[in-house]
Amino acid sequence: MFKKLNPLLHSELRLAIVSLLTGVESAEFVYIKEQTKATAGNLSVQLDKLENAGYISISKGFKGKKPVTTCKITQEGLAAFEEYVKAIQEYFDQSKKN
């Protein structure tokens, strides 16, 4: 009856990251950190998990002499997010039937 929720996206911080990235072309680490209010260490760990799953791509570069990490959602990540949202919607729809 209920679809299984994607455990990778069912984490509050990872869901917040992916949600944020669906609305922008790309986002810098500092921006994601500010928006999610995550610590740098925790954010780094969660970004690695999302990248390893193929949900985001991470590029590292420089703005002048300052290092910059930029994240972008992938097609696979967008599809996983949309499926997750659809599954959650089905939970709500089921609750309305009862």
Does residue 6 sit within a domain?
A: no
Give the number of domains in the chain: 1
Q: Determine, yes or no, domain membership for 2.
A: no
The verdict on residue 77 lying in a domain is yes
b/e burial code for range 65-74 (CB count within 10 A of at least 16 → b): eeeebbbebb
Share of the chain above pLDDT 90, in %: 87
- The reply to whether 58 falls in a domain is yes
35 confidence band (pLDDT: 50, 70, 90): very high
Share of the chain above pLDDT 70, in %: 98
Report yes or no on 98 lying in a domain.
no
Q: In terms of residue numbers, what domain contains 85?
A: 12-93
8 Å CB contact between 94 and 1:
yes
Residue 71 lies in a domain: yes
Task: Answer yes or no: is 83 within a domain.
Answer: yes
Task: Indicate whether 57 belongs to any domain.
Answer: yes
In this prediction, residues 40-45 reach a mean pLDDT of 98
Q: What CATH number does residue 42 fall under?
A: 1.10.10.10
- Is the full-model pTM beyond 0.85? yes
